[in-house]
Structure 1
Amino acid sequence: MELKAFALFSLLFGAGLAIQFDRLANSERRTFLLLRRLAVLLVFGVIHLCLIWNGDILTEYALAGFIVLPFLFGPRWLLTLAALASLALYLAMQAFPPAGLFPGRTAIWRDVMDANRIYATGGFLDVLAFRLREIPLIASLHAFVFLRTIGLFLVGALAWRSGILQNARGLLVIALPAICLGAALLYFGIEPLGNILLALGYGAAILFIASFGRGKRLLGWAAPLGRMAFTNYVAQSLIFGWIFYGYGLGLFGRLGITQALAIGIAVYVGQVLFSAWWLRHYRYGPIEWLWRTLMYGALQPMLLSRVEGVQ
């Protein structure tokens, strides 16, 4: 599941960036607004990375966004070429990892032992110091997948620009072959490409189902969760930080798979319910509202009117 979820998130972020780029087409401030949007995301990411959880993805997404944004001014063939080049280089890195990119086994094992001790028993300042010390190790992992992130951003943008996201038949044509081929590649151990194809297939299949009235009702429970993805992402870091770190319940490294899965599902269900309740009263999630306000440099409307609430 994990690498497909990362890939799907990258595809969605790229599509979202392209949607905003196109919707701001008549604005003279388009480039400035989108650059500021990414800059604000970068600030959020660095804060999240340093103070809450060093597994942060926001920082990488902001940096990748700065690289992808100029390509949105170009034609679709340029997006296609850049996406293929990025993903090809990423796949080449999987086959031939650059020397010295990752620390040795001894350093990794030492970090794991320290993490099990400090994260489970340390106070906030102890956890903070260790989290900052771990950043170089985490950075090497980000460097290893950075080209994939850029490539999938571009694929997501291309999916929006080509109109495939609004084409049910086209989505089905993508979903079935991508899932079948991706599963076959995983079966033969070709994971990097298999994961990407499966993510594409899953995403296309979900959109295909949601393109019908019955499918939209079936999946409608997830819409509020997705509209508040930024808020829910940060909230999960705060919740799980309290559950697992020493300044909270200190359960880091002490749970089995079943217990951890049960906690994860419980938090997820709670966020589904909370997101639905919140969006019955407000236009955006709290962090989405702050991000939008900082992007435009003006307070954005937050409360829903009665008419909007009824609709």
Structure 2
Amino acid sequence: MNPSDRIDSIDALRGVALLGVLAINLVMEFRVSIFERFLVAARPATSLDRAVETILMLAVDLKAFALFSLLFGVGLAIQFEHLSTCPRRALLLFRRLIVLLTFGLIHLCLIWNGDILTEYAVAGLIVLPFLFGPRWLLAGGAAAFLGVYLAMQVWPPAGLFPSFTSIQRDVQEANQIYATGSFGEVLAFRLREIPLFASLHVYMFPRTLGLFLFGAFVWRSGVLRKPHQVLLFSTGAGCIGLGAFLILPGSSGSVAAMGIGKLASPVGTIALALGYAATILAIANLASGRALLGWAVPLGRMAFTNYLAQSLIFGWIFYGYGLGLFGSIGAAKALVIGLAVYIAQVFFSAWWLGRYRYGPVEWLWRTLMYGTVQPMSLAPLTRSI
């Protein structure tokens, strides 16, 4: 897809969603072990740190990733449509996902084991055949996979989640190795942790599939090409209201009375993600909204590059082979660091795309997908690819 073909509101949404992903990855996974939240004994924290963690857990955690899953499904559908006249469409999309899988495995093993790219690539390969079917198949598949995900919340498969003992042992080792270890020691421990992370991915995988398909369905329905502002704002308000009602602690009594129990949080998370998406898209489609959110468009167009750059930067800041801040600062200070990195990426993305057509990783991904070197210059193309 050429830069001129992109929809700025979707790129703006992706750029804003990247902030949520950054905040959660940084505060809950780079700063401390992701498994620490599952232990009874919590790390001492100031009132400000507790407030930051609470806000992130209620408003951002899993919601940002759900939003990214929706956007990935939209992106798949856009690519599928863009290649509609190409006889190699299936092969190119398959190659695109295999390249993503390769990037994901490199990121997972060598840079950071909190990687989401590997899961997205595998999910994309499963979703790809659905794109060749009618719109009802996308909707039906989304409902089926989301149904499986919700069923797993009520009846979790036995033995899927790591034991308390294994989590406790992992957190103890992480506090020592990530904080003081050399690159080799951190790498070895990161690889040993992968089976624990894999269990979390398996638990969330049906949701990823469902949201991919729902994102593709939304694109196929046409509501993002010719957005209806009243529909977007009303959907945003309704979904945010429902999500907040299901997730906020103060509504637990009402939720219990409704009899949905364990489904409140996962349903509320999906509702909030949909609400955030609809609201941001509605704002981004207004003239004043374009001015307000214009800074996020270049960031969203380079989301792949920025995501990987965040892993490299935060790994150096928090692990022993860099500054070694793992486990030594609170959530509030970590978030300040994250915001500084994010702001720097906003300026860098705008600077880069003022000179080149694609982000560096996006360019490499596209080049490997097509098998030919893609143009980087902003000069007009003489032909479409």
**CA separation in 1, counterparts of 2:329 and 2:114?**
19
Structure 1 residue corresponding to 2:311, chosen from 229, 234, 237:
237
2:166 aligned with 1:126: no
TM-score, normalising length: structure 1: 0.97
47-56 or 206-215, larger mean C-alpha shift: 206-215
Provide the residue aligned with 2:282 in structure 1: 208
Between the aligned partners of 2:102 and 2:359, the Cα distance in structure 1 is: 18
String of CA shifts for 1:241-279, please: whole Å, max 9, x gaps.
100111000111111112101101111111111111111
1:49 matched residue in structure 2: 108
SS in 2 for 1:99: coil
Range 177-186 or range 215-224, more displaced:
177-186
Structure 1 unaligned blocks of 5 or more: none
What's the CA shift for 1:306? 9.0
The alignment's C-alpha RMSD in Å is 1.2
Q: CA deviation at 1:163?
A: 1.0
Higher relative contact order at CA 8 Å, sep ≥6: structure 1 or structure 2?
2
Size of the aligned set, in residue pairs, is: 307
Q: Matched residue of 1:143: which SS?
A: helix
Q: What's the counterpart of residue 264 of structure 1? A: 338
Q: Which runs of structure 1 show a deviation greater than 6 angstroms over 4 or more consecutive aligned residues?
A: none
- Taking structure 2 as the reference length, what is the TM-score of the superposition? 0.78
Q: CA deviation at 1:100?
A: 0.3
Aligned counterpart, 1:73: 132
Supply the distance in 2 between the matched residues of 1:80 and 1:107 (Cα, whole angstroms). 39
Residues 96-143 of structure 1: CA distance to partner in whole angstroms, max 9, x if unpaired? 111000121111011001001001101011001000000000000000
* Equivalent in the alignment of 2:329: 255
Measured against aligned partners, the alpha-carbon deviations of 1:38-92 in whole angstroms (never above 9, x if no partner) come to: 0000000000000000000000000000011111111111111110111111011
Alignment equivalent of 2:238, drawn from 167, 173, 177: 177
Q: Is the 8 A contact 1:86 1:151 kept in 2?
A: yes
Structure-1 separation of matches of 2:368 and 2:286? 36
Structure 1 residues 16-37: Cα deviation after superposition (integer angstroms, max 9, x where no partner): 0000001101000000000000
Query: What amino acid is the match of 1:77?
Result: W
Counterpart of 1:228 in structure 2 is: 302
**Aligned mates of 1:207, 1:79 — CA distance in 2:** 22
Aligned to 1:106, which of 142, 165, 168? 165
Aligned partner letter, 1:231: T
Query: Residue 87 of structure 1 aligns to which amino acid in structure 2?
Result: L
Q: CA deviation at 1:182?
A: 1.2
AA aligned to 1:25 is S
CA deviation digits over 1:130-162, x for unaligned, max 9? Answer: 000000000000000000000000111011000
Q: Percent identity?
A: 68
Which amino acid in the other structure matches residue 255 of structure 1? I
- The yes-or-no answer on 1:299 pairing with 2:370 is no
2:10 matched to which residue of 1? none
Structure 2 counterpart of 1:127, which letter? Answer: V
Measure, in 2, the Cα distance between the counterparts of 1:170 and 1:29: 37
CA distances 1:172-226 after superposition (whole Å, capped 9, x unpaired): 2321211111111113451101000000010000000111111111100000100
Runs of at least 5 residues in structure 2 that lack an aligned partner in the other structure: 1-59, 253-263
Contact (CA 8 Å) 1:21, 1:34: kept in 2 or not?
yes
8 A contact 1:80–1:158 mirrored in 2: yes
Could you tell me how far apart the structure 2 residues matched to 1:303 and 1:24 are?
22
SS in 1 for 2:295: helix
